[in-house]
């Protein structure tokens, strides 16, 4: 487990950019945290780090947004509105992202159908300082071997 403190949105985006340097095709990453915790801000920085030349925005109402303009394709999912694991599986995003990266906001809802080799990221709002976030990285499988300390420094 790796933890960092982000003092503002720019720092949260920076963490996303740094993480993008560590990904490989087929990677699965989940983002969790309360509404307004910075999941989409982190995703926007991640997209920048992948070289995506358009804004990475929340897929809340469309469920899935796919970006192909970067070094690695990004499949960005919002699992908040999904009613079951079956609905997630019906999206077929695991196969779609096999040559890119799958980034799932509200991913805690679908962990049961993800490959063992994935990275869980939790963003928590500091109750005393509204702009401050604690970002915790929970690696599993092959993610245990990657230098996540480069993201959290």
- The pLDDT, as a whole number, for residue 127 is 80
| Domains parsed from the chain with CATH numbers | 2-152 (3.40.50.300)
- Say what the pLDDT of residue 92 is: 87
What parts of the chain have a pLDDT lower than 50?
none
Can you give the pLDDT at residue 44? 98
The span from the CA of 9 to the CA of 132, in Å, is 8
User: What pLDDT score was predicted for residue 81?
Assistant: 86
Distance of CA 133 to the CA centre of its chain: 15
Which residues make beta-bridge pairs with 6? 133
Nearest of 22, 4, 31 to residue 71 by alpha carbon: 22
d(CA 49, CA 2) in angstroms, rounded, equals: 20
Integer Cα distance of 6 and 131 in angstroms: 8
């Amino acid at each position: 487990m790796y933890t960092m403190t982000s003092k503002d949105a720019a720092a949260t985006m920076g963490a996303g950019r740094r993480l993008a340097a560590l990904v490989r095709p087929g990677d699965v990453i989940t983002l969790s945290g309360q509404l307004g915790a910075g999941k989409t801000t982190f995703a926007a920085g991640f997209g920048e780090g992948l070289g995506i030349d358009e804004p990475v925005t929340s897929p809340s109402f469309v469920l899935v947004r796919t970006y192909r303009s970067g070094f690695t394709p990004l499949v960005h999912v919002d699992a908040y509105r999904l009613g079951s694991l079956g609905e997630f599986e019906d999206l077929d995003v695991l196969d779609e992202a096999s040559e890119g990266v799958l980034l799932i906001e509200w991913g805690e809802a679908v962990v049961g159908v993800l490959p063992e080799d994935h990275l869980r990221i939790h963003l928590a709002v500091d109750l005393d300082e509204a702009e401050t976030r604690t970002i915790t990285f929970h690696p599993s499988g092959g993610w245990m071997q990657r230098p996540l300390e480069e993201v959290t420094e």
